[in-house]
Amino acid sequence: MTANRLFGTNGIRGEVNKLLTPALSLSIGRAVGTVVRRSSPPGTEVLVATDTRYSGDMLKAAICAGLLSTGCQAVDTGMLPTPALQYGVKKSTAAMGLIITASHNPPEYNGIKCVAGDGTETTQDEEKEIEEIYFSEEFTLAPWNAVLGLLSRSHLTHRYTEDILAQVDRELIASKRFGVVVDCANGATVVSAPKLLESLGTKLVTLNAQSSGGFPGHPSEPTEDNLRDLMTMVKNTGAAMGLAHDGDGDRAIFVDERGEFLYGDKTLALVAKHIVMENGGGKVVTAINTSNVLEDVVKEAGGEVIYTPIGSPIVARVMIKEKAVFGGEENGGLIFPKFQYCRDGGMTSAAILEILANRERSLSELMGEMPEYHLCKLKFKYPPHLREKILEKYLCLVKDKNPLTLDGIKVLDDTGWVLVRPSGTETIYRIQVEDSDPVRANKKADDTKRVLLEIVEGLG
């Protein structure tokens, strides 16, 4: 955390009782309440939810106390996946929502993410306003007789899952009786995913479907390594697919009927293809680190891809502006604008089942229809003061190749692309290379890393 920054790319994140203390949470509650009260009357609602982390209740109590002190009506909505809280905010008169989660980070972490009144993640400007009040401590506190009691509301999960069901052809999906294995990672989707998938008539097997803030099943990031049990269980049960959510349920990652792990890009492309075809064209928004597979299938279906800097709030805001038909990130965070403008793991699971039901082909066959690309990722640490200089020098070297400078530097060629970008949270540079040939992808990544290390050395 720098002197005047609290929010990173994913809200506030840190270790419990180190950065994420009750004192910080109390002040965040007071700062958010102060912002809300600038434009809303006393008693305006702010919804607060947690994931399954042990520290959730501790931080929630402090945040709610802070909100109540400003005259806001804090509403405890219990344990919820992030998209369920976002949907709840969108569908209510609440001016904001706060979700206490650190998504896929280790169990000793927690975080606070702010949601605007329309259910989207707050913009950087809105976060800056909260930060300014937090650091200046200029809280607007309510007079004694305007302080309200805490409200609780417990039906948000039900509303969320029921409204997802209304988005898809529930009868068609149910008629197929798909075998599905879901891995909730002991995270927030334990309250929603089994119910949703059972309502879609699946023959369901659950893994890690009990709430536990220690993530005893596996770390809550849905990587291939963490999903070995899921892959095995899909094969052993003959299921049509496996599905895993991250700790707060805004992402969904899939395993095909052969037990093969599927990267998020491919799911994004599969859903994009069907939505664009159904729509007879349209815009699809994604960040610049998404695979070319998306652009290939969207173009073929008659649509157009718009690229943004990395970060789901940016993707969501551009989708609103461009009236996009679909959007999302390569990490399994898909955004369905007909439902809501945020990444939604539950909605993603229902959409994939609907595609399986409609197409009457297996998930591996559907994935096999798409072009194959190979991704190679490398990273290296750099001296913090050279962050910008490295990028400037690298830009000079590649400037005749018409690079994109939306976020880092992306150089495209006939077979793929190279993206060089400093991390938003650590002093590392990330190199991502995609190519239709795996050997070429690795070579390009190695070459790029060597060039960058030479730049660092030259800058001394």
CA distance 262 to 312: 20
CB 10, min distance to Mg ion, A: 8
Asked if residue 168 lies in contact with residue 271, where contact means CB atoms within 8 angstroms, the answer is: no
Nearer to Mg ion, 331 or 448 (CB): 331
Among 27, 50, 103, 105, binds Mg ion (CB under 5 A): 103
CA distance 408 to 399: 13
Nearer to Mg ion, 250 or 407 (CB): 250
Q: Which amino acid is at 43?
A: G
Backbone torsions φ then ψ of 47, nearest 5 degrees: -90, 140
CA distance 192 to 194: 6
Nearer to Mg ion, 13 or 37 (CB): 13
The yes or no reply on residue 246 touching Mg ion (CB under 5 A) is: yes
Q: Which stretch binds Mg ion (CB under 5 A): 124-132, 238-246, 366-374, 422-430?
A: 238-246
Other beta carbons within 10 angstroms of residue 199's beta carbon come to 16
Q: Which stretch binds Mg ion (CB under 5 A): 241-249, 350-358, 379-387, 437-445?
A: 241-249
CB 112, min distance to Mg ion, A: 14
The yes or no reply on residue 250 touching Mg ion (CB under 5 A) is: yes
| Number of residues near Mg ion (by CB under 5 A) | 4
Residue with the closest Cβ to Mg ion? 103
Asked if residue 372 lies in contact with residue 436, where contact means CB atoms within 8 angstroms, the answer is: yes
Residue 424 vs residues 303, 308, 310, 376, 427: alpha-carbon distances, Å: 31, 15, 10, 20, 8
Q: Which residues 6+ apart lie within 8 Å of 269 measured at CB?
A: 291, 293, 294, 296, 297, 298, 370
Nearer to Mg ion, 66 or 345 (CB): 345
Asked if residue 98 lies in contact with residue 27, where contact means CB atoms within 8 angstroms, the answer is: no
Q: State yes or no: is 291 an active-site residue.
A: no
**CA dihedral sign of residues 51, 57, 61, 66:** negative
Residue ranges of alpha helices (H) inside 301-433 are 312-322, 345-359, 363-368, 387-398
CA distance 75 to 365: 46
Contact characters 188-227, Mg ion, x per CB under 5 A: ----------------------------------------
Nearer to Mg ion, 188 or 350 (CB): 188
CB 395, min distance to Mg ion, A: 32
CA distance 118 to 105: 26
Q: Which stretch binds Mg ion (CB under 5 A): 98-106, 157-165, 184-192, 387-395?
A: 98-106
Contact characters 52-91, Mg ion, x per CB under 5 A: ----------------------------------------
The yes or no reply on residue 435 touching Mg ion (CB under 5 A) is: no
The yes or no reply on residue 248 touching Mg ion (CB under 5 A) is: yes
CA distance 15 to 151: 28
CB 141, min distance to Mg ion, A: 33
Q: Which stretch binds Mg ion (CB under 5 A): 101-109, 283-291, 393-401, 419-427?
A: 101-109
CB 245, min distance to Mg ion, A: 8
DSSP letters, 180-235, are: EEEE-TTSGGGGTHHHHHHHTT-EEEEES-S--TT--SS-SS--TGGGHHHHHHHH
Nearer to Mg ion, 45 or 246 (CB): 246
CB 331, min distance to Mg ion, A: 9
Backbone torsions φ then ψ of 401, nearest 5 degrees: -100, 20
Q: Which stretch binds Mg ion (CB under 5 A): 29-37, 50-58, 102-110, 120-128?
A: 102-110
Q: Which stretch binds Mg ion (CB under 5 A): 85-93, 99-107, 393-401, 407-415?
A: 99-107
Exactly one of 40, 103, 192, 349 is catalytic; which is it?
103
Nearer to Mg ion, 204 or 342 (CB): 342
* E-only strand ranges, 248-403: 252-255, 261-262, 282-287, 303-308, 326-328, 334-335, 374-381
Nearer to Mg ion, 37 or 90 (CB): 90
DSSP character at residue 247? T
CB 248, min distance to Mg ion, A: 4
Contact characters 281-310, Mg ion, x per CB under 5 A: ------------------------------
CB 273, min distance to Mg ion, A: 24
Other beta carbons within 10 angstroms of residue 37's beta carbon come to 20
* Binding stretches for Mg ion (CB under 5 A): 103, 246, 248, 250
Catalytic residues: 103
